Amino acid sequence: MKSPALDYVRVDSLSAAFDAFEAGDGDAQFLAGGHSVVPALNLRLQAPSLLIDISRIPELSGVELCDGWLRICAMTRHAEALTHPLIIHHAPLLCAAAPFVAHPAIRNRATIGGNLVLADPASEFPAAALAMRAEMEIVGRDGVRRVPADAFFLGLYETAMRPGEILRSLFVPPAREGQRVAFDELSRRRGDYAIVGAAIQAVMADQRLSDISIAFLAVGDRPIRAAKAEAALRGGALDGATIAAAQAALEGDLDLEDLPQMPASMRLHLARVLLGRVLGRLGGP
Amino acid sequence: MTMAPDTTAFIGQPHRRQNALRHLAGRGRFTTDLVLPRMVHAAFVRSPVARGQILAVDVEQASQAPGVICVLTAADLNPLCMPWVGTLDHFARMASPPQNILAETHVVWAGQPVVMVIASSRAQAEDACELVVVEIEDQEPVVDGAAALALGADTASPGLASNLCYETVLETADVDAAFAKAACVVDGEFSFGRHTAVTLEPRAVVADFDPSTGQLTVHQGTQTPYQFQDVYARHFGLNEGQVRVIAADVGGSFGMKLHVYHEEMATVAASKLLGRPVRFVADRLESFLSDIHARDHKVRARMAVDANGIITAMEVDDLTQIGAFSAYPRTSAAEGNQVIRLMGGPYRMQDYRGRLSVVFQNKVQTSQYRAVGHPIACAVTEVLVDGVAEALGQDPLDLRVRNVVPDDAYPHTSATGYQFEKLSHQACLARLRQMMGYETLRAEQALLRKTGIYRGIGIAPFIEITNPGAAFYGVGGARISAQDGAIVKLTPSGDVQCMISVTEQGQGTETIIAQIVGEQLGVSPERVKVITGDTDTTPVGGATWACRGAGIGGETALRAGRKLRDQILAIAAAVLQSEVVDLRLADASVIDAHTGAVRLSLAEIGRIATYRPDTLPSGTDNSLTAAQHYAPSGFPFAFTNGVQASHVEVDVETGLVKLLKHWVVEDCGRIINPLLVDEQIRGGVVQGLGAALFEECLYDEEGQLTNGSLAEYLVPMACEMPDIVIGHVETPTLDTILGAKGVGEAGTAAAGAAAMNAVNDALLPFKARLMQTPMTPARILAALGHV
Amino acid sequence: MEQDLTKEITVTVNGETVRQRVEPRLSLADWLRDRLGLTATHLGCEMGACGACLVMLNGRPAHACLTLAVQVDGEMVETLEGLRDRGVIADLQAAFHERNALQCGFCTSGMLATAHALLVDNPHPDRSEIRDALSGNYCRCTGYEAIVDAIASTAAARTIDQGTSG
């Protein structure tokens, strides 16, 4: 399990990163924390000829408020999602999801940008980004564009990013009055890939739910918004009947496949159980 | 007035491990750490398919790759090695195809080594592996063991008459009658998943052949250096004296590192060929593809009870699926053989029939792993006992109390033919009941059930085979030492050294040996240096397997220590012009046996015997070294016993199980070191729980392992494991002076059975019952009717 | 002949400045073990699942198997050898020894790195917090309980020490 031979360059600006990528002739790979790239190299699942280390580009670092949005730059480590005061306050769903991402030492080094760009459908942050209705700020040679999360995750390990582009930051919209969040997942061991996970953000006012978004992870080729379940909840109270309706509606949201170790029907059952539990937590203190 | 404490009583004390200090300081000496001059690195090209015929192997491009020393095929290596066959004579009519280093014409499991690349670094060796072209014609693999036995089924390996490796039947005369007149019969169909050892340090070997002297030194992470010395000598045509095997620190073994593997044989062969050190360290992916796997049983079983709820008979049919050939030199049949013999072990049951079929399939070899056969026999037995309790409406703990062999009924022979010297099931059950607060837990369980919280309590008494003599392997013709050996010496300064054949993998062997030897010589264990794991410096012996370190190794050390004690006292008596009977050893001195007054320090004895033997009376033997070998006689094995209990909570909506607590009451005879005994038990329990709930080597229909990495194969981790409460009953064996039996496998033997009963107890209100491991959420949900 | 891809890196390792040329593909773990002889760092899975290779990277535990040596150019690495020599984990080491919180010793350096960081972040962890912190550290031998005990007793002793000393 040793990486294949490759070249490496560390760049200190975005323009240098683009230059390096172009010089790499289509066979270069950006490297941030490396916690997805390096295991893939060790397993020889990837063999780029060049790694471009973008982890020390100043424009990719930092967490700040920007026009009321929270801007989390790509090199922010997972661990900061648990400790950074701005993230705790302005992106509580990301903070709620963070303890479920792998293990403490991984979180020290792995970057949020790297995680989002990998677009692992079983990963927690993409689902949280989707539920937060966050936007991805992408930079390329031709400039900057912002892509909403639901247009960013396109498929298995597939995003709206074009070759040579770099995810610069995650923009989290400002919180509404009465906003609540909850995250949970079912996994066999702490830190494992989830059997199913759910991230929910909603506004609760006068005992009524509004502005709700629910994103599931580990249910398909990308994080999935549960639009029909959201519709069943919208305007309702967080009571047993409404939750049951949302659980029933979930079948229309998730197109689950049989897995070798678990049939689709059981996965749907678990997604419904989880939805009920996370909604229950949403109503909690 | 109080007596001064006996400062020489070291046996029974919780001494800390000296060698742990090295690990805590980052100064371990693992085979993976070893660097030798001119050392080169090996990597293997492995079969991508489970069964097929090799059409062509092209190594041309790989040979030219940077850093490559050579690329070796079967034609290069296999002629250097006499093939090995994993059968034993006492397993009648057992069959297994001969093995050699690299696949020649056929591949029989996905992961089988086909080509070996030697390069200046492991990375370069892996680079070159990617350039080797192996052309294989796929054949339909033999995957399912039952289908493999069908008439006309393809055979897993060429040259086999059928896929049956071994079969046997064990029965009493009246078993059918016992079932015919039973008041109640419960039955079950069980499936026990394949799992594997996942030692944290993977298999590692550095073979160093010196062509100038013909000397082969093999540094290997193994628990059995002497066995490998014999294997390498015989299979590579060397004299035994030319082969030295050194096992320094070993990063976990658990039975996995005592089998012969193709890669280790290849590494030795390559070193012989190249005349320089060759290193092979399995990476984690290779470990999953080539380390032995374990278990993989399908068992049908039933149990008969009479009108009084007394178990009268069991009938068991075990299908053990072992991969494409039987492991060498211990075979892959010992596991199943123990399964059918351990069934019903704790109980008075009179009649029994056990059938065993050991079957080939195109998967990696299975063989002995911690608690060989025990978890299977224990789970089958105990799940059926719980079934009886349910059928009769009796409390499962009470039912067991009535059925175990009473503590005053020994010696006892089981229905399967095992002889028990003296066990303590009743005492252990009583201790467990009190320790776990059984009645309180039952009351709490009933209360919580009403609130929709489903907790379960599982009980599993067990027996464990320890202190094996020649009955295990020797009688079958295997060259596996049934005895152990020790050399104890007093240094000129009065320190003690003990070179002994039993080996250390962290369980604390060296520490208990130091305690035992220290006690014989009146020397604190810290002053006793214990040397293990080197065939050139320690006497030959069985080393570590089947729980022999304390019982056999300890007895060997005790006898060696006493021999040296007598030699020291004889010298002291000569120096002091005293009688031996009036002298004793304590506090690193020769003391007056009656008054305790110090007469002479051991350092003084060492000085005189070493530097001034001329001052000793003529004819005095000045030897300060004693050698002793010991093999168990009397009972073929020293059985231990105990009972485990598991407390779980099952989330009946998700199928997730939370392990709340675990209890063990264990009787390993005389306890040499309670600290180490308890930690052996805890570690063993967690390995048992891993298999019960998490660990499984999953194969697809093509015979491909689909979860062969540490991200996908679930080992037990800290968050999911419970705290484990341990109690002891001590029934020393009278077969030895020391009285110790083994303890290393007790935890693993019954933890899974206790957990399975606990899960099923939690599911009782739903009439759901699981008889399959691991008990995954999917399987629990399926049992609950979610499909 | 193979193209020379090596890069020069300067890394503070256990307080010493080390300057070497390394191939970019070389992992931090292999660099520490094979080039610097710091063999306390172990390799158990090479994919970040077992925790045997944990080292302190800029003061935080990180997987040396998931990090390339070239990535830590200019940074600070501390292995068990360094923690040991600085004396900052002497009480943890003693507690592990006392409680026999290790058997084969292969997981131990990773366990100590995790424990060290945990107690810096959270001086009073409860047992479930300790188990949670260890969620990425695999031990096949002990069953974990002794390790949890050793960390808990170290935390308790540190609390008492601080209480009495001021």
pLDDT tens across A220-263, in order? 999 999 999 999 999 999 999 999 999 999 999 999 999 999 99
Mean pLDDT of all residues in A65-76:
97
Domains and CATH numbers, chain A: 7-53 (3.30.43.10), 58-172 (3.30.465.10), 179-282 (3.30.390.50)
**DSSP labels, B521-533:** HT--GGGEEEE-S
Cβ(C15)–Cβ(C77) below 8 Å: no
What size, in residues, is chain C? Answer: 166
Cα-Cα end-to-end distance for chain B: 74
**Any domain includes B721:** yes
Sheet holding B106-107, edge to edge: B106-107, B52-58, B133-138
User: For chain B, what is the domain count?
Assistant: 3
> Does the pLDDT at position B2 exceed 70?
no
Do B659 and B674 belong together in one domain? yes
Mean pLDDT of all residues in B337-346:
98
> Does the pLDDT at position B447 exceed 90?
yes
Nearest Cα to Cα of residue B569 among B524, B537, B596, B600: B600
Q: Hey, of C6, C71, C119, which one would you mutate to test binding to chain A, going by the most A CBs within 10 A of its CB?
A: C71
User: A190 to chain B: which residues are within 8 Å by CB?
Assistant: 717, 719-720
Q: List the CATH number of the domain containing B445.
A: 3.30.365.10
> Does the pLDDT at position B6 exceed 90?
no
User: A263 to chain B: which residues are within 8 Å by CB?
Assistant: 787
Do B131 and B207 belong together in one domain? yes
- In chain B, whose CA is at the least distance from the CA of A196? B654
What size, in residues, is chain A? Answer: 285
Do B272 and B309 belong together in one domain? no
Which residues contact residue A84 at a Cβ distance below 8 angstroms, ignoring those fewer than 6 apart?
Answer: A63, A76
Of A3, A188, A265, the CB nearest to B714: A188
Q: Could you say which of B272, B290, B308 is where a domain stops?
A: B290
What pLDDT is stored for residue B476 in this prediction?
Answer: 87
The β-bridge partners of B638 are B466
Cβ(B555)–Cβ(B630) below 8 Å: yes
**Cα separation, B45 vs B25, whole angstroms:** 37
Cβ(B221)–Cβ(B31) below 8 Å: yes
**CB atoms inside a 10 Å sphere around CB B193:** 21
- Which structural domain, as residue segments, surrounds residue B129? 34-139+198-290
**Cα separation, B282 vs A257, whole angstroms:** 35
Do B620 and B519 belong together in one domain? yes
**Cα separation, B51 vs B703, whole angstroms:** 8
**CB atoms inside a 10 Å sphere around CB B125:** 27
> Does the pLDDT at position B457 exceed 60?
yes
> Does the pLDDT at position B199 exceed 70?
yes
- Beta carbons of C27 and A3 less than 8 Å apart: yes
The β-bridge partners of A216 are A198, A224
Cβ(B638)–Cβ(B731) below 8 Å: no
The alpha-carbon gap from C164 to the nearest alpha carbon of chain A, in Å, equals 31
Do B458 and B508 belong together in one domain? no
Query: Tens digit of pLDDT for each residue in B144-166?
Result: 999 999 999 999 999 999 999 99
What pLDDT is stored for residue C2 in this prediction?
Answer: 64
**Cα separation, C56 vs C65, whole angstroms:** 13
**DSSP labels, B478-512:** ----SSEEEEEEE-TTS-EEEEESS--SSSSHHHH
Nearest Cα to Cα of residue A122 among A262, A15, A224, A8: A224
Using left for φ > 0, alpha for ψ between -120 and 50, and beta otherwise, residue A207 falls in: left
SS3 sequence, B201-239?
CCCEEEEEEECCCCEEEEEECCCCHHHHHHHHHHHCCCC
Q: Could you say which of C20, C48, C79 is where a domain stops?
A: C79
- Which structural domain, as residue segments, surrounds residue C141? 87-165
Strand-strand pairing, A153-155 and A143-148:
unpaired
User: For chain C, what is the domain count?
Assistant: 2
Peptide linkage before B492 cis (omega within 30 of 0): no
**Any domain includes B555:** yes
**DSSP labels, A42-110:** HTTS---SEEEE-TT-GGG--EEEETTEEEEETT-BTTHHHH-HHHHHH-HHHHHHGGGSS-HHHHHH-
User: Lowest-confidence range among B227-231, B498-502, C159-163?
Assistant: C159-163
Scanning the structure block, which residue is given the tokens 């009493």? B172
**Cα separation, B461 vs A176, whole angstroms:** 59
The mean predicted confidence, pLDDT, of chain C is 96
Q: List the CATH number of the domain containing C119.
A: 1.10.150.120
Q: Hey, of B130, B653, B710, which one would you mutate to test binding to chain A, going by the most A CBs within 10 A of its CB?
A: B653
Do B511 and B576 belong together in one domain? yes
**Any domain includes B618:** yes
The SS3 of residue B71 is strand
**Cα separation, A138 vs B511, whole angstroms:** 61
Do C142 and C91 belong together in one domain? yes
User: A5 to chain B: which residues are within 8 Å by CB?
Assistant: 123, 127
**Cα separation, A86 vs C44, whole angstroms:** 37
Question: A263 at the B interface (CB within 8 A)?
Answer: yes
Query: Tens digit of pLDDT for each residue in B639-684?
Result: 999 999 999 999 999 999 999 999 999 999 999 999 999 999 999 9
Which residues contact residue B212 at a Cβ distance below 8 angstroms, ignoring those fewer than 6 apart?
Answer: none
Q: Could you say which of C30, C55, C79 is where a domain stops?
A: C79
> Does the pLDDT at position C166 exceed 50?
no
> Does the pLDDT at position B4 exceed 80?
no
- Beta carbons of A34 and C67 less than 8 Å apart: yes
> Does the pLDDT at position B466 exceed 50?
yes
Of C48, C51, C135, the CB nearest to A39: C48
Q: Hey, of B22, B717, B723, B745, which one would you mutate to test binding to chain C, going by the most C CBs within 10 A of its CB?
A: B717
Do B600 and B488 belong together in one domain? yes
Report which DSSP code applies to A173: P
**Any domain includes C2:** no
The SS3 of residue B470 is coil
Do C91 and C48 belong together in one domain? no
**Cα separation, B185 vs B313, whole angstroms:** 9
The mean predicted confidence, pLDDT, of chain A is 96
* ipTM attached to this prediction: 0.97
Q: Is A67 exposed, middle or buried (0-12, 13-18, 19+ CB in 10 A)?
A: exposed
Do C73 and C100 belong together in one domain? no
B715's tokens: 């080992």
- Beta carbons of B717 and C132 less than 8 Å apart: no
**Cα separation, B651 vs B180, whole angstroms:** 40
Q: List the CATH number of the domain containing C62.
A: 3.10.20.30
**Cα separation, C124 vs C144, whole angstroms:** 19
What pLDDT is stored for residue B3 in this prediction?
Answer: 41
User: B32 to chain A: which residues are within 8 Å by CB?
Assistant: none
Query: Tens digit of pLDDT for each residue in B557-613?
Result: 999 999 999 999 999 999 999 999 999 999 999 999 999 999 999 999 999 999 999
The β-bridge partners of B42 are B118
Sheet holding B215-220, edge to edge: B68-72, B113-119, B40-46, B278-281, B204-210, B215-220, B243-246
Rounded to 10 degrees, what is the CA torsion of A142, A143, A148, A149?
Answer: 70
User: Lowest-confidence range among B375-379, C134-138, C160-164?
Assistant: C160-164
Q: Which residues in chain C (46-75) have CB-CB distances under 8 A to chain A? A: 46-48, 51, 54, 57, 60-63, 65-68, 70-71, 73
Q: Could you say which of C23, C50, C79 is where a domain stops?
A: C79
Do B677 and B777 belong together in one domain? yes
Of B16, B251, B721, the CB nearest to C143: B721
**Cα separation, A185 vs A278, whole angstroms:** 9
**Any domain includes C146:** yes
Which whole-number Å values give the CA distances from A81 to A62, A85, B266, C108, in the listed order?
12, 9, 49, 28
Question: B24 at the C interface (CB within 8 A)?
Answer: yes
Is residue A285 very low, low, confident or very high in pLDDT (cuts 50, 70, 90)?
low
Q: List the CATH number of the domain containing B109.
A: 3.90.1170.50
Query: Tens digit of pLDDT for each residue in A10-44?
Result: 999 999 999 999 999 889 999 999 999 999 999 99
Q: Which residues in chain B (652-681) have CB-CB distances under 8 A to chain A? A: 653-654, 656
CA B699 to chain centre: 25
**Any domain includes B46:** yes
Do C15 and C72 belong together in one domain? yes
**Cα separation, A5 vs B440, whole angstroms:** 63
E strand spans, B322-371: 351-359
pLDDT > 70: what percent of chain B?
A: 99
Q: Which residues in chain C (36-55) have CB-CB distances under 8 A to chain B? A: 38-40, 42-47, 49-50, 52
The mean predicted confidence, pLDDT, of chain B is 96
- Beta carbons of C147 and B21 less than 8 Å apart: no
**Cα separation, B596 vs B589, whole angstroms:** 10
**CB atoms inside a 10 Å sphere around CB B189:** 11
Kindly calculate the radius of gyration of chain A based on its CA atoms and give it in whole angstroms: 19
Q: Could you say which of B575, B602, B630 is where a domain stops?
A: B630
Is residue C164 very low, low, confident or very high in pLDDT (cuts 50, 70, 90)?
low
Do C68 and C96 belong together in one domain? no
- Beta carbons of B694 and A189 less than 8 Å apart: yes
Nearest Cα to Cα of residue A271 among A191, A199, A178: A199
Nearest Cα to Cα of residue B476 among B4, B46, B93, B68: B93
Mean pLDDT of all residues in A193-212:
95
Tell me what percent of chain B is helix, strand and coil, each rounded to the nearest 5: 30, 25, 45
Query: Tens digit of pLDDT for each residue in B11-46?
Result: 999 999 999 999 999 999 999 999 999 999 999 999
Q: Could you say which of B580, B598, B630 is where a domain stops?
A: B630
- In chain C, whose CA is at the least distance from the CA of A10? C71
